[in-house]
Structure 1
Amino acid sequence: MILNTNMMKKTDPQLSEEQFLTAILTLLSEILETLKKSPVNDMNYYDSADVKQLLNISDSTLHRLRKLNDIPHIRIGRKIFYPKSFFNNALKK
């Protein structure tokens, strides 16, 4: 099911809160199914534990690198991820 943009914008005055929540849940379920289908090894990101082990650094050093923007990262919820391409390119130099 593809979510109708009118549902997301809530421009349809007939759209109830229950219908809106149902549409959101359907969309989240589809995202979850897509994520389950992709192999774990194909992830293009390291998590903090991987980076600390790869660079042999501590939590505080990794935090300092993030704070100084010396290392690219994204935050999803409470978890932080680092693009593998950054490390692959750095190791090639």
Structure 2
Amino acid sequence: MKKKSGIPIHDEELLATVLAVFEEILYTLREHRNGDFGYYDNADLKRLLNVSDSTLFRIRKSQHIPYVKIGRKIFYPKSFFKNTLKK
């Protein structure tokens, strides 16, 4: 394995990948801060619909609203609610 500027090549590739991931995270956070994040989380949706945790759970389980689960957090697409409210 050749070294370039004192850093092993595979470490440079890893560093480039980590930096790319951080750039994407920063971009997403900036968009979210500007209100352009395309999803509501549970707290946002409960406040928007004025419902409890259990009601939101029942609505979600009845498959009346789309959602995405990432880890332990659940997100709901804003586009669904914008389109539904327009009708």
Q: How does the TM-score come out when normalised to structure 2? A: 0.68
Paired AA for residue 43 in structure 2: A
- Write the distance in 1 (CA, Å) between the matches of 2:32 and 2:44: 18
Is 1:29 the counterpart of 2:28 in the alignment? no
Superposition misfits of 4+ residues, deviation over 4 angstroms:
18-24
* Unpaired runs of at least 5, structure 1: 1-14
Give the match's secondary structure for 2:46: helix
- Write the distance in 2 (CA, Å) between the matches of 1:66 and 1:77: 17
Is 1:86 the counterpart of 2:73 in the alignment? no
Give the match's secondary structure for 2:69: strand
1:40-78 deviation per Cα after TM superposition (whole angstroms, max 9, x unaligned): 211111111111111111101111111121111111221
Give the match's secondary structure for 1:70: coil
Identity level (%): 50
- Write the distance in 2 (CA, Å) between the matches of 1:49 and 1:58: 10
- Write the distance in 1 (CA, Å) between the matches of 2:38 and 2:73: 15
Aligned to 2:59: 65
Query: What's the offset of the Cα at 1:31?
Result: 2.1
Give the match's secondary structure for 1:80: strand
User: Does the CA contact (< 8 Å) of 2:28 and 2:37 recur in 1?
Assistant: no
CA RMSD of aligned residues (A): 2.2
CA separation of 1:26 and 1:82: change in aligned 2, threshold 3 A: same
Q: How does the TM-score come out when normalised to structure 1? A: 0.65
Aligned length: 78
Which has the larger strand fraction? 2
Give the match's secondary structure for 2:64: coil
- Write the distance in 2 (CA, Å) between the matches of 1:72 and 1:90: 12
- Write the distance in 1 (CA, Å) between the matches of 2:30 and 2:46: 28
CA separation of 1:30 and 1:50: change in aligned 2, threshold 3 A: same
